[in-house]
Structure 1
Amino acid sequence: MESDVRLAERLATEAGEILLALQKSSGLTGKDLGKAGDEQANTFLMRMLRAARPDDAILSEEEKDTGDRCSVRRAWIVDPLDGTREYGEGRTDWAVHVALAIDGVAIVGAVALPGLGMTLTSGSPKPLEPAGDPLRMLVSRSRPAREAVAVAETLGATLVPMGSAGAKAMAVVRGQADIYLHTGGQYEWDNCAPIAVAQAAGLHVSRVDGSPLVYNCADPYLPDLLICRMELAARVLELVKALPSA
């Protein structure tokens, strides 16, 4: 049987190829392209996962969630198109996420970055590059989080605007940035695969209070996360804790 890591990598990559083909040939742009991409990638991933792992649960951003998955130990958590806006605009900072959580822990992850021609997985972690000087803090293109901006100012870090959550997380894995601090609200499908990949690469991953990220919960909302180099984690968590309440 194909391993879970290999399955995740193959499906994320193939879904990305479907999205690239649609982007090039459909004639659609903007929101219409994003909607079509979400639908096509989700249809593909759901069909393939149900065939390959019929006994596992699946949580997808594009599927109605019944909650029945919570009684199953193994749950695939997928985002067929993370960064719909960036995809519709023809940018490269969008991703496909395929992850497997077992007993609430992100064990397997694959994040395809089709616009960059690569898929990063928990099975083949990339060696970490040296930290930047100055440090580089990833933030949303449109809504930089107050907490991230404040921490960056204290650390003297440069802000790096970027699109999807997966693209941001993989920028840290790839050595393009040092810290991804997010406090603006996400869901499990936004970060389960990126967390599995980042953790396998030797990065710190947690909620912004230092607690672990737990998956396959009845409520899939995950309000915040921190992905950063291990040597920066304690300082970043300390700075977040010291921030005044909004």
Structure 2
Amino acid sequence: TRGAASRAARVLRVGFVASAANELTQRIVAEFARRRPGWKVELTQTAWDDPTAGLAGGTADAAFIRLPVPGEEGFGLEVLLTEPRWVGLPLGHRLAGHDVVDFADLLDEPYVAAPAGTGRWRDYWLALDERAGRPVTIGATAHNPDEWLTAIAHGHGISLTPEATARFYQRPDVVYRPVRGVSESQVAVAWTPQPSDVVRDFVAACVQQARGGLPARSPEESEDHAPEGR
């Protein structure tokens, strides 16, 4: 199988969506290399049709995901960072000049959405839980960051997005602003039940770097936690 071949080649397959673990990503990979000399982390970006970043389909050994995702109850999860949700607006939008945008002012805007099959992940980025029952208008559907940016720039809709998007996905025709009145976004490292020792070492590297380089939990604590999830 591909998984067995990857192990023979000493490659750990890590999926991600968009900005992975933000600025932590390189530090995590470096810490994993220190723990597992000779191993390589193969980072693969997945389309937004799969917010589990390859875990659900078995094409990733671990993944950086944006919670919530469908089926997350079946994964082990460690939250690595939390950040505010901002909004992406086309240049010249009526709200682009605001320092902070109230979510109430975005309720009647058309949205650029993730594919419908992504369920709760799509719902979260449409902030359905914070709309008090008001319906949302979908102006466009995007399957990856480039489609998303293009749809916003062309005025097909606006979109909630992590704060980090303003750093990782800058465009001259898209403006990012903080949003007041919506919950924050969480980035987690995720893995399937019964992880290998190599996956455990990767998770430990993630947790250590998320804590600012402090040691991760003991192997015994990780053993208790890994199959259980959050």
Query: TM-score by structure 1 length?
Result: 0.27
More helix per residue: 1 or 2? Answer: 1
**Bigger CA radius of gyration:** 2
Work out which structure has the larger RCO, using CA pairs closer than 8 Å and 6 or more positions apart in sequence. 2
Query: TM-score by structure 2 length?
Result: 0.28
